[in-house]
Amino acid sequence: MNVMQGIKSSKIFTDFRTAEAADNLARMELDEKLVFKTNSKVELGLKDPNRKVLHRGDVSRKSDNKLEWLDVHLILLDNFLIMTKRRRERGVERLFVSKQVCPSFIICTDCRLSHSTCYSSRE
């Protein structure tokens, strides 16, 4: 193995470990920020090193009375979809879980399907 191959190999290994550490940090920070309603805590498995945060971002949804739009922060894990509201408490951002956590196996990901034809992947 020449020097260039050694450097490339070392870079690939370092990049992998850096990404792994960033994933672990993101899960730990998320675990600290999430606030559940009393008696509704769900074990998300965020301490599991195999758990993945697939995507997260801000979206708007209609309120329950359908009269106004609400800003929410969605977090898609490999096992759950979590809908939260961002709030700052004593200078620290908290993510208050606003709706019941949805297991990912019941999420319909095919946009061509209507709501009436979305089925659980456990069938």
**Given this model, what pLDDT does residue 12 score?**
92
Check residue 108 and give its pLDDT: 67
SS3 22: helix
* pLDDT for the residue numbered 3: 87
pLDDT in tens, 24-51: 898 999 999 999 988 778 888 888 888 8
57 CB-near residues (< 8 Å, 6+ apart): 73, 74
Asked if 85 contacts 98 with a C-beta cutoff of 8 angstroms, the reply is yes
Question: Under CATH, which number does the domain 3-117 receive?
Answer: 2.30.29
Residue 37 confidence (pLDDT): 87
Distance of CA 113 to the CA centre of its chain: 24
Domain ranges of the chain: 3-117
Three-state DSSP class for residue 93: strand
Q: What is the pTM of this model?
A: 0.70
pLDDT at 63 exceeding the cut of 70? yes
Q: What is the pLDDT of residues 108-119, one digit of tens each?
A: 666 555 554 444
